[in-house]
Amino acid sequence: MAYLVDGHNLIPKIKGMSLAVVDDEERLVELLLVFCRVRRQKVEVYFDNAPAGQKLNHSHGMIMVHFVRQGMPADDAIIARLHRLGKGARNWSVVSSDRRIQSEARACLAQVVLSEDFASQIENALQQAPAERIEDKKLSDAEVEEWLKLFKARK
């Protein structure tokens, strides 16, 4: 089962994370990378309010990150993705505690996972991850540059 994740809805549900932190999206993507590696799942995560000039979509391992342009909520982008999936939506789980998204997901026959429940799944995956802790992982110079480019507009 693959996941469509409402990123800004999920962030405050994860222990130690907050939307007030500048690199909250980057941190969530790092956690989702561990989740994908441990659970062998595909994830598409959507974030609102992409700054002008920022790359809107990029793939990172088993994760596709979507930054939705300002003026369009991520909710609408998630719902549009569900409709594009058509009958294939039944093979996806939508992670959000937003009732509108949940209703649209159910109408498309997708599974619904509350953000609180998915945060617990991430925590369990982190506990199952090999001894390498996400905080201790060293990024290559190229990875650091890529992240700086992606998030520089947010600072």
Q: What is the pLDDT of residues 53-65, one digit of tens each?
A: 666 787 888 999 9
Q: What is the pLDDT of residues 74-132, one digit of tens each?
A: 999 999 999 999 999 999 999 999 999 999 999 999 999 999 999 999 999 988 877 55
Domain 2-154 has what CATH class?
alpha beta
Rounded Cα distance between 151 and 49, Å, is: 12
- pLDDT category at 137 given cuts 50, 70, 90 is low
Domain spans in the chain, listed from the N-terminal domain onward: 2-154
pTM given for the model = 0.79
Strands (E), 51-139: 57-60, 63-69, 92-95, 111-113
Q: Is residue 44 a contact partner of residue 67, using CB atoms and an 8 Å limit?
A: no
151: exposed, middle or buried (C-beta count within 10 Å: 0-12, 13-18, 19+)? middle
